[in-house]
Structure 1
Amino acid sequence: MAKINPIRRAEIGREKRARTRADLVAAANSLFARQAVESVTVDDVVKEAAVAKGTFYVHFDGLEGLTAAVAEELVQSFDEMLQSDRLSLDDPALRIAFGCSAFIDKALNDPRWASLVARMATVDAKGGELLRGRIFQDLQQFSNNLPDGGPSAHLNLEIVVGIMLQLMRALGERRLSPLDRDGAISAILRAIGLNAREAKSVLTRLPTSGPRQRKFQRPGAGSGGA
């Protein structure tokens, strides 16, 4: 009988566990696309993934953890898509506004996605930490550019994240419309230290065209050129 290398055996085990976890996340994502997140059960997920119920609990403590994993995957893929555009902007206030506007526009187009993102706040999710790190970098540079320093980057981080999570919840529940978009971004900018005139200036400089043109334009923006 041929001997199996114990190192290779361990690798095979890790690969199998990773595939099973990915299958569970894919199953949940598919179910969430067809029905309300709150209506999905563990039994639904294991049936969709074609695995035993006990296998589910090897990978997740419950549905909250699985939901967070789905949201994390969606946010990371969206963040990766935005990175090149974000890094092309020199002004940290503009980068902050760009990131917020991109997430708000995505949420307006896909309320289900917004609800999943909001759920990341209830668990220890890596996707949430990734976003916090991105925002904090911009807020540090933003604070350094203010004449009096303004609120600390740490305080502003909690302000931006708190507002955005509330917006994601509201957008997921369809309680806001595209008409609220600019007001929300302006409120974030003013909360971290800009005055009304400065916030308006940032809004007018937000990118609105290119390969990932948003479905929702700012109220009053025309569809033609200047």
Structure 2
Amino acid sequence: MAENDDSQLSTLGYRTAGSGRRAEIGAARRARSRNTLLTAAFTCFGQETGQASRIEDICKCAGVARGTFYNHFDDLEQLKYQLQEELTGEFDRAVHLMLAALDSPAEQTAVAIRYYLHAAEKNPAWGWAMIHSSAPGHTFGETVWHNSLVTIRRGLDQGVFSISTAEIGRDILMGAVAAAMVSITQGCTPADYPEQIARHILLAFGMSAAEAQQICTRPLPALPAIAHEKIVIASMPALGEIGGPEPPGGGR
């Protein structure tokens, strides 16, 4: 009887281990399928005409059936949201590692603007994907939308900015940066355009011309290396190459 019990337990253990292994394989296959769709979405949205991309276009690019799309996303808007998180998640984390070393909300704001716009300059496909996958009310993703508001509110509390509300400042910043990203990805801007945009945003926030100019022409530190293996999109910009010891050309 004991031998039978041991045999049954052994068989049960084998079955449990086998089920666990099958679940792992299934999860890995599902992750690869999702990543294939996100990479295809990046390819479709990451071009100037990408705004018109449909689910059918993304599925064709990914080489999957339409039903596979709905195994991972409810609709195109949900895919755009997830794509934004992939495009900005680790990038924004790297940016905020640098912002933590800066005391002034004004400099934090200017540096963040410059990082994002220089990233679009170095990788236009990333810039176009950022533009075309942004949702109304969450430009560049929910995390960036929230973090910009927090920084601007701190600037108001410290008396650095002179605007009516942090929400107005957030809308000014996001609108200007989104429009500037379009101009940059179209290749029709000077090398110091990110600095010019940052300077004019600080002016709109009530800072003096001298203060804004001084802040926006400081050397831009190189972004730290980040965990690239966490990023689904293979064509992300080389983050460590953004910024460096020499400041870009002064704003005009």
Q: Tell me if both proteins adopt one fold, taking TM over 0.5 as the criterion.
A: yes
1:134 aligns with 2:147: yes
Structure 1 stretch 135-144 or stretch 112-121: which is displaced more?
112-121
Alignment partner, residue 122 of structure 1: 135
Equivalent in 77, 87, 111 of residue 98 of structure 1: 111
1:74 aligns with 2:87: yes
C-alpha distance after superposition, 1:63-97 (max 9, x if no partner): 56534533431111211222211111111111010
1:146 aligns with 2:159: yes
C-alpha distance after superposition, 1:156-179 (max 9, x if no partner): 111111111111222222232314
Stretches of structure 2 lacking an aligned partner (at least 5 in a row)? 1-11, 225-239
What is the letter of the counterpart of residue 151 of structure 1?
Answer: S
Distance 1:126 1:15 in 2: 31
Identical-pair percentage: 25
C-alpha distance after superposition, 1:30-61 (max 9, x if no partner): 56669963586644533443432222134345
Alignment partner, residue 224 of structure 1: none
What is the letter of the counterpart of residue 184 of structure 1?
Answer: I
Instruction: Give 1:102 deviation, angstroms.
Output: 0.3
Change in CA separation of 1:176 and 1:64 when aligned onto 2, cut-off 3 Å: farther
Is the Cα–Cα contact under 8 Å of residues 120 and 184 in structure 2 kept in the other structure? yes
What is the letter of the counterpart of residue 168 of structure 1?
Answer: M
Instruction: Give 1:198 deviation, angstroms.
Output: 1.4
TM, length-normalised to structure 1: 0.76
What is the letter of the counterpart of residue 149 of structure 2?
Answer: F
Structure 1 stretch 102-111 or stretch 143-152: which is displaced more?
143-152
**What is the CA RMSD across the aligned residues, in angstroms?**
3.7
Alignment partner, residue 184 of structure 1: 197
Instruction: Give 1:209 deviation, angstroms.
Output: 5.0
Alignment partner, residue 233 of structure 2: none
Distance 2:212 2:68 in 1: 50
Distance 2:136 2:175 in 1: 15
Alignment partner, residue 97 of structure 2: 84
Is the Cα–Cα contact under 8 Å of residues 41 and 63 in structure 1 kept in the other structure? yes
Equivalent in 164, 183, 187 of residue 170 of structure 1: 183
Which structure is higher in RCO with an 8 Å CA cutoff and minimum separation 6? 2
